[in-house]
Amino acid sequence: MSHDSSDDPTVPIVCDDCGTRTRVPLSDLADLIERHNETRHDGDSVATVEPELAEQIADLVTEDLGLLEE
- Single-letter code of the amino acid located at 60: L
> Reduced to 3 states, what is the DSSP secondary structure of residue 51?
helix
- pLDDT for 32 equals 96
- pLDDT for 4 equals 55
- pLDDT for 53 equals 92
- pLDDT for 67 equals 81
Give the Cα separation of 1 and 14 in Å (integer): 20
Residue 59 has pLDDT above 60, yes or no: yes
Give the Cα separation of 16 and 24 in Å (integer): 16
Using CA atoms, how far residue 29 sits from 12, 48, 50, 70, in Å, is: 9, 9, 12, 34
Q: How does pLDDT run across 7-43, given as a tens digit for each residue?
A: 889 999 999 999 999 999 999 999 999 999 999 999 9
